[in-house]
Amino acid sequence: MFVPCDENGNILEDPNWETFKGYTDRFYVLDKQFKTVKEKVLFKGFSIRTESKKTFVGIEGYEIEISMLPKIKMKIEDLANDWNHIELTEAAIKQIGI
C-alpha cells in the first residue's frame, strides 16, 4: 500500500482537528484509525491530493491519478527499477524479514 487506506481500499486522509470542532470523539477515532493504517504503508514519501473530484498519488513531484493505475499495470518491480531512491518503511522491512 502506498498511502493509508481502510479495509475497503478507500484512501484515508490525515484528519484535520479544525474540521472536527465540537466532535472530539469522532476526531480521535479517525485519528487513531489513520495512524494505525499509516504504519502499514510500504514506501516512505508518498502523498495523496484531491482536486476536482480526482485523487492523485505522488512522490517527489511526480503524480498520477488513482483511476489510471489499473490501466498502467505497473508492478512493484517497476518502481524498484525506475525509482531506486524509494525507501521502504519499517513495516515493509519487517514484512520482508530484512
Q: Which residues does 35 contact at the CB level (< 8 Å), separation at least 6?
A: none
Encode burial over 58-81: b for 16+ CB neighbours within 10 A, e otherwise. bbeeeeeebeeeeeeeeeeeeeee
- Per-residue pLDDT of 9-20, as tens digits, reads 888 888 888 878
Q: What CA–CA distance (Å, rounded) separates 30 from 77?
A: 33
- Per-residue pLDDT of 26-75, as tens digits, reads 888 989 998 888 888 887 877 878 888 888 887 777 777 777 766 777 66
Q: Is the pTM of this model over 0.85?
A: no
